[in-house]
Each structure stands twice: as structure tokens, then as C-alpha cells.
């Protein structure tokens, strides 16, 4: 026997059910807080918290002094949800067994479950394993695919995508698509994010900023973060040198230590990824008492001593998962949607600690 649902959960399910069954359509006003209080016997605080939760999920919105109303486009997800149609099967393909994709998969599971989707997950470790996954989805008649391609193994012909196109398999790409792949996508604008980060460090009185990377310069994320860094430096530090250091170069530690030792004033350091932090931790520790350094890395700080001093510029993985499933629902499972390519571009969040 399942656990009894709380009053707030009952309220949320009731409202979603009313929207799904078109008792309340897009733009319609929902029952007042007083009426909901009488119906469910709960406090106004609890009611407002539940309404705020549905607002955060995009199903409803509030108008000050007027009440709560049903949102337009997002409510279509309920009208066309698998609860009113055949159960949808979603294929998910991600590269690498790294924490970012593990977390993203966890959030995608939640989103798929809340939408009533079935799903099958594959790790893509090579061009062939990606092809095998696509072939499986086609053979088993999946309804759509959510994927993040393994760019390290791309042969620049993108033949695997021909499988999806040839079989008219709808797919959403998480990450910015390559120039010759035309598809729906959800991704973070790392160029704009890095420009914003340079601006933030400028306003925090950093005299100069250096960029530390550890990946090959032909990888997309490296290029975009480097491009954003250079653009931001030209705009906010037109008279300062643009210094990009690679931790994989043999003389990195010597160059990095030498620059910090000779630098006067507050220094900003942007890490391509917080995975670089262990490579520079010892060097920074040796100058901790005498240098004023603001260290910012892309993605959350690593689990190690000293991480509490690292600021970060982060991709909200939960939002990435939600927007991906939303786009999938709107474009492919909404019978009234137009056939058009859509990109949902998100902005990274900056946390200065």
C-alpha cells in the first residue's frame, strides 16, 4: 500500500488534472486561494507554496492582485501527454562516464518519469557504439532521441546522424550542434557566459585575468570559453595581455608560478573546468598569504580540500534536463506544433564565493 499523499501534493495533482482535462484552459483563471483553502483544508501558506511550485514548473503564472492563471504553450504538454495518448519511448545517448552526464541523466529520468515517458539509456564511447544505439532505437521503434554526441570520436562526416534523418527519428541535441548538423538543441552559451564572467571580475577590481585550460583547442567548449575570455578581455581590459595557459604543457607550472609571483594587485583566474583545480592547488597554496586571487572555474568545485574558496560558473543541470524534455514535447508530441528547428539557449550562472 502506497504512502498517503500530503494535502499539498493532492492540491498540485488536482490542478494539473483539471488543466489536463481542459477544465481550465490556457489563460483561464484558477480557483482563488480561499476556495482552494476550503476545498483542501490547508493553510494559505501551503497553498501559495504549491502554486509557486507549479509556477516554477511553468504550468501557471500569477498576476498581482488578480490571481493565478494557466500558462499557454507549456500547458500543451499536459494536453498531449502520454496519459492521453500512446506511451512514448525515449532513447538517451551520452558520452563518457563523467559526473556531469551522470547528473544530467538523473535529472532526465525525473523529467521523463513526470511526463510518463519510457526511456532507454546508452553510454557512447565511440562512433560505433553511438551507431549501435541509433540502430537500436530505430529497430525498436522509439519515438524520439535525446543525445549529446561524443565529439572526441567524430570523423567529421557525421554518418551516424544519417540513421536518424533517414528513419525520420526526431531528436534533441544537448550541446551546441556542429555547423553541418541541423537539429533541435538545448545548450548553454559559454561565449556569453565567459564574457559575463570577465565583466564580473572587472567590477570586482581584478587588475588582470588569465585563463587556464587543459583540453585540446579544437574542442568546442574550449574554443567557446576561450573566445568569450578573449572578447571580454578586449572589451574590459583593452590594454592588458591575454594569457591562456595549458596545464598539459611541460613548462606550465613554471609559467603559472612566474606570472603569479610577479603580479601585483588582485588577479582573476578562469579555469576552463574545475577539474583543473588539482593541477594548480599547490601553487596557489604557496601564494595564499601574499596574493589576492579570485579563482573561478566552470562547473561545480571538485570534492577536495580548498574547494570552498573556488568560485564557479555553472550549468544548471536540472534546467538543462527540463528544457530538453519540454522542447521534445512541444516539437514532436504536440499535434499543433509547427515543424521548425528550435534552439533553446541558456545562460550559465556565476557564483562568487
The residue ranges of the chain whose pLDDT is under 50 are 1-2, 82-85, 336
Give the three-state DSSP class for 27: coil
pLDDT of residue 102: 82
Look up the CATH number of domain 87-188+317-346: 3.40.50.2300
pLDDT tens column, 130-175: 889 999 999 999 999 999 877 665 555 678 889 999 999 999 999 8
Rounded Cα–Cα distance for residues 58 and 79 (Å): 14
Domain 7-78 has CATH 1.10.3720.10: no
For the domain with range 190-314, which CATH number is right: 3.40.50.300, 3.40.50.2300, 3.30.1360.10, 3.30.2350.10?
3.40.50.2300
pLDDT at position 156: 59
Long-range contacts of 306-312 (CB under 8 A, 24+ apart): 306/277, 306/281, 307/277, 308/353, 309/353, 310/274, 310/277, 310/353, 311/350, 311/351, 311/352, 311/353, 312/274, 312/350, 312/351, 312/353
Asked if 92 and 120 count as a contact pair (C-beta separation under 8 A), the reply is yes
pTM of the predicted model, to two decimals?
Answer: 0.67
Question: What is the domain partition of the chain in residue ranges?
Answer: 7-78, 87-188+317-346, 190-314
Residues forming a β-bridge with 51: none
Burial 237-267 (b: 16+ CB within 10 A, else e): beeeeebbbbbeeeebeeebbebbeebeebb
Instruction: Specify burial of residue 26 (Cβ count, 10 A radius: 0-12, 13-18, 19+).
Output: middle
Query: 242: which residues sit within 8 A by CB, 6+ positions away?
Result: 211, 229, 230, 233, 234
Written as nine digits, the cell of 197 is 564572467
Q: Do domains 7-78 and 190-314 have the same CATH topology?
A: no
Q: Residue 66 has what pLDDT?
A: 77
Residue 82: the pLDDT is 46
Spatial separation of the C-alpha atoms in residues 33 and 268, rounded to whole Å: 49
Strands 89-95 and 118-124: parallel
Which triple of cell numbers denotes residue 190?
559559454
Amino acid at each position: 500500500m502506497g504512502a498517503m499523499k500530503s494535502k499539498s501534493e493532492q492540491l498540485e495533482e488536482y490542478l494539473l488534472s483539471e488543466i489536463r482535462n481542459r477544465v481550465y484552459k490556457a489563460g483561464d483563471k484558477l480557483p482563488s486561494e480561499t476556495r482552494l483553502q476550503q476545498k483542501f483544508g490547508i493553510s494559505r501558506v501551503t497553498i501559495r507554496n504549491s502554486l509557486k511550485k507549479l509556477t516554477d514548473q511553468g504550468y501557471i503564472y500569477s498576476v498581482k492582485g488578480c490571481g493565478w492563471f494557466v500558462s499557454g504553450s507549456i500547458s500543451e504538454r499536459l494536453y498531449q501527454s502520454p496519459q492521453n495518448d500512446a506511451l512514448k519511448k525515449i532513447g538517451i545517448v551520452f558520452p563518457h562516464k563523467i559526473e556531469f552526464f551522470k547528473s544530467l541523466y538523473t535529472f532526465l529520468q525525473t523529467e521523463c518519469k513526470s511526463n510518463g515517458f519510457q526511456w532507454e539509456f546508452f553510454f557512447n564511447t565511440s562512433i560505433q557504439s553511438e551507431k549501435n544505439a541509433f540502430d537500436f532505437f530505430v529497430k525498436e521503434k522509439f519515438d524520439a532521441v535525446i543525445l549529446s554526441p561524443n565529439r572526441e570520436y567524430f570523423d567529421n562526416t557525421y554518418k551516424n546522424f544519417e540513421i536518424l534523418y533517414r528513419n525520420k527519428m526526431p531528436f534533441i541535441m544537448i550541446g551546441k550542434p556542429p555547423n553541418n548538423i541541423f537539429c533541435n538543441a538545448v545548450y548553454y552559451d559559454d561565449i556569453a557566459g565567459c564574457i559575463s564572467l570577465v565583466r564580473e571580475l572587472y567590477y570586482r577590481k581584478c587588475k588582470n585575468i588569465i585563463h587556464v585550460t587543459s583540453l585540446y583547442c579544437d574542442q568546442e567548449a574550449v574554443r567557446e570559453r576561450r573566445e568569450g575570455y578573449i572578447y571580454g578581455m578586449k572589451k574590459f581590459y583593452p590594454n592588458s595581455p591575454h594569457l591562456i595557459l595549458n596545464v598539459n604543457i611541460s613548462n606550465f607550472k613554471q609559467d603559472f608560478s612566474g606570472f603569479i609571483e610577479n603580479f601585483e594587485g588582485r588577479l582573476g583566474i578562469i579555469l576552463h573546468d574545475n577539474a583543473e583545480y588539482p593541477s594548480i592547488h599547490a601553487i596557489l597554496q604557496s601564494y595564499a598569504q601574499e596574493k589576492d586571487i579570485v579563482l573561478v572555474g566552470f562547473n561545480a568545485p571538485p570534492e577536495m580540500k580548498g574547494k570552498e574558496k573556488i568560485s564557479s560558473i555553472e550549468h544548471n543541470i536540472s534546467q538543462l534536463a527540463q528544457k530538453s524534455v519540454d522542447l521534445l514535447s512541444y516539437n514532436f508530441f504536440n499535434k499543433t506544433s509547427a515543424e521548425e528547428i528550435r534552439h533553446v539557449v541558456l545562460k550559465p550562472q556565476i557564483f562568487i564565493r
